[in-house]
A and B are shown apart, each in its own frame.
Chain A
Amino acid sequence: MSSDTGTTIAPEAHKSAENPPVQPSIKLKASLAPMTALELTSFEPKQFSEELAAKVAQAPSFFENLPVVIGLEKYEEPSLDFERLIEICQAHQVKAIAVRGASASLQDVARNHGLGILAKQKERNAAIDTDTPAASEPAPQEPKADEPAKVEIKTETQISKIVHHPIRSGQQVYAADGDLIILASVSAGAEILADGNIHVYGTLRGRALAGVKGNTKARIFCQSMAAELVSVAGQYKISEDIPSSTIGKPCQVYLDEQTLNFQKLEL
């Protein structure tokens, strides 16, 4: 995810590190990797878990094994159940690695839970607020009193939506503004939609609709074609009209002058 090269040990770690006696096997380099911060204003395990789940659901690939910093600048309670916090993050494949801006007493507890300690975020402009076109709504800067938005995501670098599990009958998955990539099969009775392209690295048995906002350049790719329906920018074909030569084969579907084309992917 980060564009960083080499060993990434933050300068803070440097101070306490001892010089290796013989052949150095590590090299210390200052590194500036963009980090995602989960900024907490309060911590209630169930709510936190639900909100984190919702964030992860928006961009599962972005979060996979993502190291995050727990931002505590706005957290005012005297205590925090770090064990639960780390556990819930882990359950969502998010790795809490450090706290930032914690009070002295919380820093001690965090340290005991194996978390690194980072200094307070200096100024707002030091935060990396990168919103890619894929992030349809920017994260709110201030949680409003009536809103339960306790988990704020500061960095979002996600363009495509990647799904790692099968899409089952009765389920629907939609990638707004981007591509949808499914690393599993799509069952009959399931529906997948994207504003961009659709890739299915499994068997496509359900319905796939690419370019749903009218992008005629969108395409559908699948490892094995067995779709109930495919559509690009509203032009669709149902299973019985799909050329039999492509059934069960790797295939792409694209629009050429108002007609849907099916092409076997054979290299």
Chain B
Amino acid sequence: MAKIIVITSGKGGVGKTTSSASISTGLALKGHKTVVIDFDVGLRNLDLIMNCERRVVYDFVNVINGEATLNQALIKDKHNENLYILPASQTRDKDALTQDGVEKVLNELSERFDFIICDSPAGIEHGAQMALYFADEAIVVTNPEVSSVRDSDRILGILQSKSRRAENGESVKEHLLLTRYNPIRVEKGEMLSVDDVKEILAIKLLGVIPESQSVLSSSNSGVPVIHDQSTDAGQAYDDAVERLLGAEKPQRFITNEKKGFFKRMFKGAATA
């Protein structure tokens, strides 16, 4: 039985797809059989970030509609044999995702994988609800600004009331992933701090991913940033994956000083 984890946010453009790519890659790198599903039907881009867009023949909606088998639609990652991608259709709309259809696909995947990562579309409508409905756990991706935090709060309410687990009286395990964090702007008071966000959302912090140029260059080259452990964002995602698997790790990249400290450490190690 796989663990189903939705990566969701409410607000758009906060880093869900970036996080889905790195977290699924991280799980696979640590030996877990992982599949990442793009629920953003109509706006495919997980396959771009994972650099497999030219290998897409069939997609998630084809499988739901019985037009293709899972084996035909699943794309094996180039870098890691434990990782598969189930791409979204560009030509349909989100209503093509039916609850029964999604359940059928998840059940089938559940027998073959340890982790199923669901990359949710933005918003709180049908597409986002389909992505979170069957989740055992949720990673709520939030940027350190008021509107993103508010939307995350909203999504947490939906997870508690409209997911399958909620309907069965169980709870979905919630994780906060604070992304695009810029300690300098936090110090200047231009962004909310980790503590501000933690206090408002009151859920466990999975990790803080710094705002980083490396994220842009890695998504342009189609290699999820977690592959590059010389980058701050890559290390931060690796920490987050370890925590997801149960490890206790201190938070890094939260303060400006610490970042400097780690930079010096890293430089020291590299020249030694």
Interface residues of A (CB under 8 A from B): 46, 49-50, 52-53, 56, 88, 91-92, 165-171, 184-185, 187-190, 202-203, 205
Contacts and interface: CB of A to CB of B under 8 A. Distances in A.
Given A91-B170, A205-B200, 13 more contacts: A46-B168, A50-B168, A91-B168, A92-B169, A166-B156, A168-B156, A168-B157, A168-B160, A171-B160, A187-B150, A187-B157, A189-B154, A203-B199
B169 A171 contact: no
Given A170-B154, A189-B153, A184 B202 contact: yes
Secondary structure of the B side of the interface? Answer: helix
B120 to A, nearest CB: 17
Contacts of B169: 49, 52-53, 56, 88, 91-92
B157 A169 contact: yes
Contacts of A170: 124, 154, 157-158
Contacts of B154: 168-170, 189
B108 interface: no
B167 interface: yes
A202 B169 CA distance: 24
Nearest to A167: B157
7 contacts: A50-B168, A53-B168, A165-B160, A168-B153, A168-B154, A170-B157, A190-B157
B161 interface: yes
B159 to A, nearest CB: 9
Q: Which of B150, B153, B158, B202 has the most CB of A within 10 A?
A: B153
Query: What 7 A-B pairs have minimum CB-CB distances, sorted nearest first?
Result: A168-B157, A53-B169, A169-B153, A169-B154, A171-B157, A92-B169, A187-B153
A49 B161 CA distance: 15
Nearest to B166: A53
A155 to B, nearest CB: 20
A47 B156 CA distance: 25
Contacts of A165: 160
Contacts of B202: 166, 184-185, 202
A171 B170 contact: no
A49 B166 CA distance: 11
A205 B200 CA distance: 9
Contacts of B157: 167-171, 187, 190
A190 to B, nearest CB: 8
A49 B164 CA distance: 12
B200 A187 contact: yes
A166 B150 CA distance: 13
B150 A188 contact: yes
Contacts of A92: 169
Contacts of B200: 185, 187, 205
B103 to A, nearest CB: 14
Contacts of B156: 166, 168
Contacts of A53: 167-169
A52 B170 CA distance: 12
A202 B124 CA distance: 26
Nearest to A45: B168
B168 A171 contact: no
B168 to A, nearest CB: 5
A171 B150 contact: no
Contacts of B167: 50, 53
A46 B168 CA distance: 8
B10 to A, nearest CB: 9
A170 B154 CA distance: 6
Contacts of B170: 91
Interface in B59-86: none
